[in-house]
Structure 1
Amino acid sequence: MSETTPILQFGTSRFLQAHADLFFHEGTPARAVTVVQSSGDPERARRLAHLAEGYPVRIRGISEGKTIDEERHVTSVRRTLSTAADHAEIERVMIEEAEAVVSNTGDRGFEPADADTGPVFDQAMSYPAKLYHLLAARHAAGGKPLDIFPLELINGNGDVLKARVREIAAGQGALPELIGWLDRCRWVNSLVDRIVSEPIEPAGAVAEPYALWAIEAQPNVAAPTGHPSVIVVDDLEEIERLKLHILNLGHTALVHLWQAQGGDDRLCVDKALAGELGDALLAILEDEVMPGFAVRGMEDAARDYRDTTLDRFRNPFLHHRLSDIAQNHAQKVERRIGAFLDWVRAERPDFPAPRLDAIAGRNAGAVS
């Protein structure tokens, strides 16, 4: 008989291999995982067959000014299944073993599918609909409510997933007892961050040293394992602001500066940071971004995060081209730079940020 697995994970991505699954391997307590492929994608199915054999994660980059290049062997995945072929076994694991559900099904993983209105489990359903039917089966079998940790890059991901599952339940005519049970499950908002740069075949990944799984506190919720990269915080907003307005803003400002120079499509972030573009970015961060965080009472946290971010940008093993970051640049400027200016000027309307204003195409001091 296979080992009991308290973690039921939906998603097979290299991000999960080098993030949550690595933490479950290294954490206290170590947690055994059943990985479920929900997409039916043949390429991912090939990877699935190798995960339970154990796989390498290579950590390469800069941490506190030191070069890191090491390999870890991950054995947290004990069983692999597919919704396309193993629904009955997945349902059994949900009913008999699961204590927590983890998912990373892509940014569009919560979007409705036509099949979601069907009365029984269907491979064509979206992840929230598949999850609803599995949770309904657990409820019908007398199972306890459990913790649900979506890791999709969606603001308020726990709240969004809960709302979608409740919507599906209502459409299915679920009885009040089941609705109440779903509400007693803990739908947890999380923010995750790690650059996982490339796969290792047939399973495994190369990742940077930095990693974060921030969990928003709520009653009766604990981190699924103890690990230095897994933290519980009262409010995710501070971490979200740091990531969006330092790391993401830094990438977008660097792209703007690069484009203004008629940039080389082959230029990567680490090389850009070592030249004139890097000097210009450092000036923006020091003269405009750090003072903006100071206005919001976050200067110390911002300076620490900036230093960590610059280590990440200087990673010589990560071939992160500015031409790739430049995709959807206009939208990124507004979300990362325009939103930063709005956030700071909501507190201090006359806050000076001439270089960020120029990148955002705004008149100095204007609030949109």
Structure 2
Amino acid sequence: MTNTNIQILQFGTGNFLRAFFGSMVQDLNENGNNLNICIIQSTSSNSLQQLAAQDYKYNLLVAGFKDGQKIEQIREITCVKDGIRLPDEEEKFLNFAASSQLKWIISNVTEAGMVMKEEGPFEKFAESFAGRLTQWLYKRFQTIPQSETVVLPCELLPDNGKLLRNFILAHSINWNLSSEFLLWIEEKVLFLNSLVDRIVPGFPSHLDLKLKESDPFLVQAEPYALWAIEGPESVCSHLPFLSSDSEVILAGDISGFALRKVRILNASHTAMTGHGLLLGIQTVGEWINSSDREKFLLDIIDNEIIPTINLDRDELKKYANDVLDRFRNPFVSHKLSDISLNSIAKLKSRLLPIFMDYKVLIGYYPPNLSLCLISMLLFYLRTPEKIRDEQEIKLWFKNVSKSQSEIDVLKTALATWLDLEWNSSFENAFNKVRQ
């Protein structure tokens, strides 16, 4: 039976949305709202079942510094009220389409999940996130066409709302769905680009907290939290989240926020991950706690990343300094292995655009970022058992021919997964890594 007191469907049960979006909805409810979340799990883990066993309640630890003040706060998050496991509970998922109470779709299926995939016939439940959402929206169109739906993707991709909308329109056309449905999407479904910014290291295994024993879903986050949503002032009435205690802003253009965040914070995370894992380093804190590595990262940001961003340089430097402070947060143990999840997709979305823009400016690929990219691929080649990526990618690196030289395999990996040709920047990087 459909839970009629659900207003939000949240695709993604991971640490990030629980610490980021869950805390915002909790803020609203503690100020008199009544917004409840149903979370949707599309992976094979049993985490949803475990979370259901504790009535979907969990605790959030916010620890770090804000405006120079030390913050250590634990709060219970109680706004999640239901869960769906896909594809097992297809019927329950589609039944929510007929609920007039439900208005918002939130997603964080990662860069690897926000893709266009060829699907089977419309009658068969889709495998991809975009395909499933298309089927859900069509059911809504058939049952309650007067209801509006607001879709807010949180994946770290440029124009993520527009991208998802285009995927759904493409699926609709591929399935020969009616022109009336396409018109309804234009009129009744609001897709908004958004940018999320918060470091969420996950379960605080390194901290001495009694709560860890009773709540396996305890999640830690830094105090900083920004959600930038793109749209005109007229959509304010569709966004109660703007009243959250976190920094949730509505702007006509969020491309500047998105570009600086993905290129400075996320690209730095991905860069240090390949570099660090290859050296046996476990966390961001351990990585940054070295004057040589910190200088290396500053050089990357100042000389390889910021020149590719056409925004005020002083503002970018200030943001970069804030990011470094966030990396140094002594309360946070952000595992590089967690950041390495779906690294091939992250290399494509976070590093490759910097490579291309830098080459246009300078004439060759950025040397330090090239070293980091080569390090990540070498980590995949040398320790395939530690890869946290799509099954196809894991199998490729596991089964790649060991009879070839490492440099030849690297060349094939670059061409196969990143569509890059071997060049002097990669040659120099490889030689440095080998030293």
| Separation in 1, partners of 2:343, 2:321 | 24
Which position in structure 2 is the counterpart of 1:62? 65
Q: Deviations 1:233-286 (Å, cap 9, x if unpaired)?
A: 222321222123322344466569879xxx851364324434322551475268
Q: Is 1:231 matched with 2:249?
A: yes
The answer to whether the 8 A contact 2:200-2:334 is kept is no
Which position in structure 2 is the counterpart of 1:132? 134
Whichever structure has more helix as a proportion of its residues is 2
1:177–1:354 Cα change, 3 Å: closer
| Separation in 1, partners of 2:271, 2:176 | 50
Structure 1 segment 159-170 matched on structure 2, within 5 A? 159-170=162-173
- Over the residues paired in the alignment, what is the CA RMSD in angstroms? 3.9
The answer to whether the 8 A contact 2:59-2:218 is kept is yes
Structure 2: runs of 5 or more not aligned: 204-211, 373-423, 427-435
The answer to whether the 8 A contact 1:194-1:212 is kept is yes
Which position in structure 1 is the counterpart of 2:299? 284
| Separation in 2, partners of 1:268, 1:18 | 19
Structure 1: runs of 5 or more not aligned: 364-368
In the TM superposition, what is the alpha-carbon distance from 1:24 to its structure 2 partner?
0.9
Which position in structure 1 is the counterpart of 2:389? none
- Alignment: residue pair count: 355
Which position in structure 2 is the counterpart of 1:13? 14
Structure 2 length as normaliser, TM-score?
0.68
1:112–1:47 Cα change, 3 Å: farther
AA paired with 1:135? L
| Separation in 1, partners of 2:128, 2:347 | 31
The answer to whether the 8 A contact 1:292-1:344 is kept is yes
Q: Aligned with 2:113: secondary structure?
A: coil
| Separation in 2, partners of 1:334, 1:85 | 33
1:169–1:59 Cα change, 3 Å: same
| Separation in 2, partners of 1:107, 1:337 | 13
The answer to whether the 8 A contact 1:12-1:35 is kept is no
Q: Deviations 1:192-240 (Å, cap 9, x if unpaired)?
A: 2323222464434122222222211147433341223322222232122
AA paired with 1:245? R
Q: Aligned with 2:201: secondary structure?
A: strand
1:313–1:65 Cα change, 3 Å: farther
AA paired with 2:181? L
In the TM superposition, what is the alpha-carbon distance from 1:35 to its structure 2 partner?
1.4
Percent of residue pairs bearing the same amino acid type: 25
1:333–1:79 Cα change, 3 Å: closer
Q: Deviations 1:159-197 (Å, cap 9, x if unpaired)?
A: 221122112212222221111001221111112232322
Which position in structure 2 is the counterpart of 1:190? 194
In the TM superposition, what is the alpha-carbon distance from 1:90 to its structure 2 partner?
4.8
| Separation in 1, partners of 2:285, 2:368 | 22
| Separation in 1, partners of 2:84, 2:95 | 11
1:313–1:98 Cα change, 3 Å: same
Q: Deviations 1:55-92 (Å, cap 9, x if unpaired)?
A: 20111233344433221111212333345236247524
Out of 152, 155, 160, the residue aligned to residue 155 of structure 2 is: 152
The answer to whether the 8 A contact 1:61-1:317 is kept is yes
In the TM superposition, what is the alpha-carbon distance from 1:52 to its structure 2 partner?
4.3
Which position in structure 1 is the counterpart of 2:103? 99
329-338 or 274-283, which deviates more: 329-338
| Separation in 1, partners of 2:114, 2:306 | 37
Out of 298, 317, 323, the residue aligned to residue 312 of structure 2 is: 298
Which position in structure 1 is the counterpart of 2:264? 246
Structure 1 length as normaliser, TM-score?
0.78
